[in-house]
Amino acid sequence: MGNKKYKFFKPVDKSGFYELDNEKILQDEKFDGYYVYETNRLDLHPDQIVDLYAKQWKVEENFRSLKSNLSLRPMYLSTWKHIIGYICICFLSLVLLKFLVFKINDLTGLSGKDKFTEYRLIEMIKNVISIEEKFNGKTIKTFNLKDTSVEESWNDYQLVQKILEKIQK
């Protein structure tokens, strides 16, 4: 049993049965109510270590966003330049997404359950479809593909359009 959640058990014999290890439980109880930070960074002051761990959630949130909202997946690229380029595009996408969500919420004052999220912005981009019919470079007709399932996305789109116009001014 190498898993951490089984650290309080010890083998009874070679039959595969286990029992609680009361000594380990008593040892572990000494740390109840305390956070224990484990690091190999001997050059840092304990306060710096605590600060780094406190910021860890931000890094984890960004990776979650890259993987879920932006669908980042491992890429098998042939050259170092391609790898760097891919990382740059992913990073810029993340920054742009976070900035737009921040700006939308900031300028509209949305908060709580009404607050704009990364997911909501991406759903809007996926669902809003407009087709322009052009002749000699001029738009003749515009068709907005709408139905009840994407109505909220169109409302969000109109809101984002107004915000982007404000940002441009």
Domain that holds residue 108: 22-168
pLDDT at 32 over 90: no
pLDDT digits (tens, 9 = 90+) for 121-160: 888 888 888 888 888 888 888 878 877 888 888 888 888 8
Q: Is residue 103 part of a domain?
A: yes
Q: Is residue 78 part of a domain?
A: yes
The reported pLDDT for the residue numbered 45 is 93
The total of structural domains in the chain comes to: 1
The reported pLDDT for the residue numbered 5 is 65
The reported pLDDT for the residue numbered 47 is 92
pLDDT digits (tens, 9 = 90+) for 33-87: 887 888 899 999 999 999 988 888 888 888 888 888 777 777 788 899 988 888 8
C-alpha to C-alpha distances, 165 to 13, 36, 67, 147, nearest whole angstrom: 73, 49, 30, 26
| CB of 157 closer than 8 Å to CB of 163 | no
Is-above-0.75 flag for pTM?
no
Q: Using a CB cutoff of 8 Å and minimum separation of 24, what contacts does 97-106 make? A: 97/65, 97/69, 97/70, 97/121, 97/122, 98/65, 100/160, 103/163, 103/167, 104/159, 104/160, 104/163
Q: Is residue 7 part of a domain?
A: no
**3 versus 47: which is more confidently predicted?**
47
The reported pLDDT for the residue numbered 4 is 63
Q: What is the mean pLDDT of residues 99-110?
A: 89
Q: Is residue 80 part of a domain?
A: yes
Q: Is residue 32 part of a domain?
A: yes
Q: How far apart are CA 141 and CA 47, in angstroms?
A: 63
Q: Is residue 4 part of a domain?
A: no
Q: Is residue 6 part of a domain?
A: no
The reported pLDDT for the residue numbered 134 is 84
Q: Is residue 41 part of a domain?
A: yes
